[in-house]
Amino acid sequence: MEGPICIYGNPVLRKQSEPVKKVTEEIRKLADRLLDIMYAGEGIGLAAEQIGRTEAIFVLDVPAEADKNAQGFPNNPGVEMPQAFINPEIIGSSEETAIAEEGCLSFPKLYIPVERPAEVVVRYLDRNGNVQVLNAKGLLARAIQHELDHLHGILLVDYMTPATKLQNMLLLRNLKKQSRNIK
Ligand code: NI
């Protein structure tokens, strides 16, 4: 498998990503590599910074069966997966929020509850360079916001309350140590 995933403590995870000027073959290859590494890590999303790159791009493959509403219907019918989101931007979000546990491939074994808008509208370029606008709810909305955070250097740890931080102090310290050893 190509390239390890950058673990919490690696400074690249705090960087602000740079917009992609043109969606080239190289960018498509980067999207494919992100997907490969994401699948190997059994994740549903991965941002470029997590493999040490600063292009504004993330990929998602949110399984439809894991993204259903209380009535058991798909939250986002007709949305194709996997997808690459290039230069993504949230252009609308619901006032209604939802709280759910999130994990992150850069924080192995850490799961913390995060409150986010329940629905978002995201505008982005697809892998062909076409502008797309997507209305997302449920797990997809959450995953989009989580990955977009990565592109702005915002991490799961930033959503922790002082109490959860204290609870997970040892785990976080070990991750930082681990990330120093990889380099
Ligand atoms: Ni993440």
Write out the DSSP string of 70-122: TTS-BSSTT--SSEEEEEEEEEEE-S-EEEEEE--TTSTT--EEEEEESEEEE
Can you give the pLDDT at residue 178?
A: 83
Query: CATH number for the domain including 74?
Result: 3.90.45.10
Asked if the structure places residue 3 within a domain, the reply is: no
Asked if the structure places residue 128 within a domain, the reply is: yes
CA atoms of 73 and 135, how far apart (whole Å): 16
Asked if the structure places residue 5 within a domain, the reply is: no
Asked if the structure places residue 44 within a domain, the reply is: yes
At 104, is the pLDDT very low, low, confident or very high (cuts 50, 70, 90)?
A: very high
Asked if the structure places residue 66 within a domain, the reply is: yes
* Residue of 123, 53, 61 whose CA lies nearest to 87: 123
Give me ligand 1 centre to Cα 72, in Å: 26
pLDDT in tens, 16-70: 999 999 999 999 999 999 999 999 999 999 999 999 999 999 999 999 889 999 8
Give me ligand 1 centre to Cα 102, in Å: 8
What is the pTM (predicted TM-score) of this model? Answer: 0.95
Asked if the structure places residue 87 within a domain, the reply is: yes
For the cut 90, the answer to whether the pLDDT of residue 1 exceeds it is no
Domain hosting residue 33, numbered range = 11-181
For the cut 90, the answer to whether the pLDDT of residue 146 exceeds it is yes
How many domains is the chain partitioned into structurally? Answer: 1
Give me ligand 1 centre to Cα 70, in Å: 25
Give me ligand 1 centre to Cα 156, in Å: 7
Residues marked as catalytic: 147
